[in-house]
Chains A and B, each alone.
Chain A
Amino acid sequence: MTQTFRLDKGGLINRDKKLSFKFNGKTYYGYEGDTLASALIANGVHLIGRSFKYHRPRGFFGAGVDEPYAIVQLYRNNETEPNIKATEQELFEGLEAKSVNCWPSVNFDIGAINNFLKIFLPSGFYYKTFMWPKSFWYRVYEPFIRKAAGLGVASTKHDKERYEHKYEYCDLLIAGSGPSGLASAYAAAKNGARVILAEDKPRFGGSLLTNDVNIGNQSGEDWANSIISELKKMPNVIVKNRSQVFGYYDHNMLVMSEKVSDHLPKTNKYHPKQRLWYIRAKEVLISSGSIERPIVFGNNDTPGVMLSSAAKEYLKIYGVLVGKNPLVFTNNDSGYETAIEFKKNGINPIVLDSRVSPKSEIINEAINLGVEIKFSYVVVAAKGYKKVSSADIAKISDDKKQLGEIKNIKCDCICVSGFWTPTIHLASQSGNKTRFKEEIDAFVPGVSKQNETTLGAANGVFTLEETLKNSFIAGYDLSKKITNNDNKISFPNVVEKKSSKHDKFWCVPLPKGKNYKRFLDFQNDVAVSDIEIALKEGYRSIEHVKRYTTLGMATDQGKTSNLNGLQLVSDIENKVVPAVGHTTFRPPYTPVSIGAIVGREVGKHSKPTRKSPMHSWHEKNNAVFVDAGVWLRPRYYKQGNETLFEASKREAKNVRTNVGVCDVTTLGKIDIKGPDAAELLNRVYTNAWLKLPVGKARYGVMLREDGIVMDDGTTTRISENHYHMTTTTAQAANVLSHLEYYLQLVWPELNVNVVSTTEQWAGAAIAGPKSRKLLEKLFPNNDVSNEGLPFMGYMESDLFGVKARIFRISFSGELAYEVNVESDNGNFMWEKIIELGQEFQVQPYGTEALSTLRIEMGHVAGSELDGRTIPYDTSLDGLVSKKKDFIGKRSLNRDAFTSKDRQKIVGVVPLDKKTSIPEGSHLVKDAKAPLPNKKLGHISASCWSVEHDNPFSLAILKDGKNMIGEKLFVMSPLKNKVIPVEIVSSHYVDPKGERVRS
């Protein structure tokens, strides 16, 4: 294949570097600096895909971000990505792309049958057709749509690319590097402001690269290059290409996606694929330019019909002809610029101008060059299926209502210009209520909402001189406001051609007897007739018309279709456009990859991993870890081929018979100091705290104001005004915030300080009948007897030279202690316990055995304190003081909380003493009752009781108090299990609590 549509010279591509690429399996060649679109057009390829609804052939419509058609599936470095615009994707060696939304192929597409059935697929066809009959949706419609539709396929593989997030602050963020962006950036930068200038394309300069203008005796392109190279040298300026500012959020936070490596065959080492910038700007200059509007006519979606500005861009930037026999159809002077470029390159275009007799410098230049021009002429319909082959044209009456005799002329492309639509998306996103500007038939930003200023074409200013003047002033004024500097730069001399007025004409009427499809939205296949139907059916609000017809709702967000849709509604409804109103733009302006949004927060990086000081010991001793909040905790220590079940049973059993040691570093710890510390505890906990002696610990329960249990734990009085509070691992952060809330806002008169000390202390729980013997070895100089250190006692000691705190508290129901040392000594403590515990058969135990032990003894934890239970439900009501007030107390006398058959924690044992009960199962009276079977309660936690050697569960059961001894059924529809069970006390082991006091 040769590049038969490539000019011999011209363009900004690097002709010394030839690149090969594949499209739909076929190899082609292009040059460095091409886009996939320009390279394909150079090779004469115009059929790119199929349209979404009717599967009509699709070519190229634009040359950049506004492209509605040329969306491809891209293959790069063994990865694939959908929703890539061929007009934006830069060519690289080895690039591969495929068409989307066509099956089995782009040339023969089965879905194109929709095109011939189109009379049956009017607007709202999704709503009407696929609603009835209901069963058809799954069997017929969905499988068909899945196969035949869709704009590409997401990869199911893990994305190995790296994406970064970056936070940046600046005085001025300037979105777009066209004339207004460059001028304002230059003026502001010279005045000392910190500037970020962002350009979504690879090349800076915007319209200056394609327009025939002169600034300060330089061509537009040369002026742009000189400004950019000067800006790049300035330390207060960040200049970024391939970077789209796509979202304007609250408080001048803008988000920009930088495509760092998408233009390369593969991402360089140490580089991300894309980078997402969060930019907080003091002032924002929106210089996003404008997008050419199409004129609507019959079959205006045929490949080869494209925007006139795109044709010019392919010529001037890429040296590519979109056709060799072009027709230019325009309602303003812009079409002539394209015609002149064709003419200068030896091609003879024909210009059809809807205007009667316009006069301007540009038109004169075209006439002088010998361009054939037909005034008061329009394209009625494009002819050709997969590519334009001719056009039906006709003279149009001055009122634009009557068509003259229709003639057919040969052409291979139709370049359309229906004037310009300012790109107001960012301004609209900022909250700016845009206004309709009659002179340009388009919306422009109104009063600024945030610190945003819109300049140049984006503000509806289409002359270069005025644009530059406004932009120099804006850059200077805004920077002066911020920096207080006063360095003004001189204004360059500008030469540009003057334009004449555009024609307020946007849709060619249908000739008699013809029923051509005239498309408004090219990506979603919304035609003039669809809007007409929607209005006939009574839809009035533009928001409703939009949703019903899907106008402007495709991935291009209606960049080329919104205004023509509004014009149509306003014509039919006989209202002016601003009365019809238009929809608010939402971010993102262009699609952003999920990878860029997620950034580095993937897998293990999505949250920090916290490890205890003893982590490496656990690792060396075959611990299998489990995520406990952000902590990694040993779940069990695997011996040989043990399963989780076997290991946890062994570890739990060893605690009940000998002694075990468990890493409890992860428990939340809060240091509480101050003369009013006891008073705070007394208000926060449900039980009494004013009389706790120094050197004693107490178990406490805290509630939320609504009476629900928030957390539990022990708090120890270290000295007169100093307490050490422990919380559950999961609630540690919430409890601290909770205490700070009451101390700072509700009771600021309390003289108390709280601070988290979770990381300061390493903790080991030593539990089992032989734990005291082990303690005697660890602390030979202390009296740790039952009298010396009684249950709930506290002692400060010294562990072979290391400061230690000993708490006699138990979570397992056994005689137990908790030893804390400073974190750095954690490993030393652990190894000492293991070493000295050998003679007592000490074994480490993990969270699974820990759970077994606490379930057996009926000690509640997170699965019972689940945000739905009050103290009574969890048998903690004995800890609720009747005398004093505390947080949440007033809620406990609500009717539901005091009802006689209130839910309560119970134990559950299967009748066969063998079948394990799945957690989350429901308890019912009658397993065979008709549905819905009344649920009496649920299983909150299950274990294999090592004491009784059979399964045991805890449940929260309605009227649990009076259910002991009842026989019920456990049902788990998920696991397809029905288990007959007996309800027993939740205290399955040592119900009198003798062991902990032994």
Chain B
Amino acid sequence: MLYIKCPYCGMRSQNEFSYGGDASIKRPELNKEISNEEWDNFVYNRKSLRGKHLELWQHLSGCRQWIKVERDTATHEIFNTYKADEEVSK
């Protein structure tokens, strides 16, 4: 079971969180004309990365904040966690 540092609540067990997918995906702006390809990339197409991955988790049974977690998908190592509006350090 992962041990995730919520930027608001501190170290908490994985079972308090729910997974929210790739955090690098940006929703296209409302009312903007976009191609089918762009829309499909937003809705469906995801890279199944092996290695460092920036992903979303929601602290569901806690502060209910959506947070960003930088995790290695192969080793489960968590490098850093960020608030939703926080800049991700490279």
Contacts and interface: CB of A to CB of B under 8 A. Distances in A.
B30 A683 contact: yes
A251 B3 contact: yes
A741 B58 contact: yes
B55 to A, nearest CB: 12
A741 B76 CA distance: 24
Nearest to B32: A885
Interface in B21-43: 27-28, 30-31, 34, 39, 42-43
A746 interface: yes
B43 A280 contact: no
A740 B1 contact: no
B60 interface: yes
A891 B28 CA distance: 12
Contacts of A885: 30-31
Size range of the chain B interface in the assembly: 20 to 34
Interface in A270-293: 278, 280
Interface in A697-746: 705-706, 737, 740-741, 744-746
A744 B66 contact: yes
B65 interface: yes
Contacts of B42: 705
A832 interface: no
B40 to A, nearest CB: 9
A890 interface: yes
A800 to B, nearest CB: 37
Nearest to B34: A890
Nearest to A884: B31
B3 A252 contact: yes
A251 B76 contact: yes
Nearest to B78: A251
A329 to B, nearest CB: 44
A706 B64 CA distance: 24
B43 A745 contact: no
B84 A253 contact: no
B62 interface: no
A431 interface: yes
A250 B64 contact: no
B76 A740 contact: no
B2 interface: yes
Contact of A251 (B2, B20, B28, B84): B2
Interface in A459-498: none
B58 A251 contact: no
Contacts of B34: 890
Nearest to A889: B30
Contacts of A252: 3
A748 interface: yes
Nearest to B75: A431
B18 interface: yes
Interface string B6-27: 0000000100001010000001
Contact of A748 (B18, B28, B84): B84
Contacts of A741: 20, 58, 66
A841 to B, nearest CB: 45
Given A251-B3, A885-B30, A740 B20 contact: no
Contact of B64 (A251, A253, A740, A891): A740
B58 A748 contact: no
A707 to B, nearest CB: 9
A737 B18 CA distance: 10
A744 B76 contact: no
A779 interface: no
B85 interface: yes
Interface residues of A, number: 23
A278 B13 CA distance: 11
A740 B58 contact: yes
B54 interface: no
Contacts of B2: 250-251
Nearest to B3: A251
A589 B78 CA distance: 26
B18 A745 contact: no
A737 B66 CA distance: 9
A877 to B, nearest CB: 20
Contacts of A748: 84-85
Contacts of A683: 30
Nearest to B76: A250
B56 interface: yes
B73 to A, nearest CB: 12
Contact of B3 (A253, A737, A884, A891): A253
B27 A746 contact: yes
Contacts of A431: 75
A817 B14 CA distance: 43
Of A705, A744, A745, chain B has the most CB atoms within 10 Å of the CB of: A745
Given A705-B42, A737-B58, A745-B56, A249 B84 contact: no
Nearest to B38: A890
A701 to B, nearest CB: 18
Interface string B52-84: 000010101000111000000001101000001
A640 B64 CA distance: 48
Given A252-B3, A280-B3, A891 B43 contact: yes
Contacts of A744: 65-66, 84
A414 to B, nearest CB: 46
A881 to B, nearest CB: 12
A744 B75 CA distance: 29
Contact of B1 (A249, A745, A884, A886): A249
A250 B31 contact: no
Nearest to B58: A737
B64 to A, nearest CB: 6
Nearest to A167: B13
Contacts of B13: 280
Of A251, A741, A886, chain B has the most CB atoms within 10 Å of the CB of: A251
A745 B66 contact: yes
A247 to B, nearest CB: 10
Of B27, B30, B42, chain A has the most CB atoms within 10 Å of the CB of: B30
B31 A278 contact: no
A55 B49 CA distance: 48
A253 B1 contact: yes
Contacts of B85: 748
A706 B3 CA distance: 32
Of B2, B66, B75, chain A has the most CB atoms within 10 Å of the CB of: B66
A280 B60 CA distance: 21
B43 A705 contact: yes
A251 B1 contact: yes
A745 B25 CA distance: 11
Contacts of A886: 30
Interface string A333-369: 0000000000000000000000000000000000000
Nearest to A704: B43
Nearest to A737: B58
A706 B43 CA distance: 6
B6 to A, nearest CB: 13
A748 B84 CA distance: 9
Contacts of A253: 1, 3
Given A253-B3, A891-B39, A737 B60 contact: yes
Contacts of A250: 1-3, 76
Nearest to B4: A251
A199 B64 CA distance: 40
B64 A745 contact: no
28 contacts: A250-B1, A250-B76, A251-B1, A251-B2, A251-B3, A251-B76, A278-B1, A280-B3, A280-B13, A431-B75, A705-B42, A706-B44, A737-B18, A737-B58, A740-B58, A740-B64, A740-B66, A741-B20, A741-B66, A744-B65, A744-B84, A745-B84, A748-B84, A884-B31, A885-B31, A886-B30, A890-B34, A890-B39
Given A280-B13, A705-B27, A745-B66, 16 more contacts: A250-B3, A250-B76, A251-B1, A278-B1, A431-B75, A706-B43, A706-B44, A737-B18, A741-B20, A741-B66, A745-B56, A745-B84, A884-B31, A885-B30, A890-B28, A891-B43
Top 9 nearest A-B pairs by Cβ distance? A251-B3, A885-B30, A250-B76, A885-B31, A744-B66, A253-B1, A744-B84, A746-B27, A890-B39
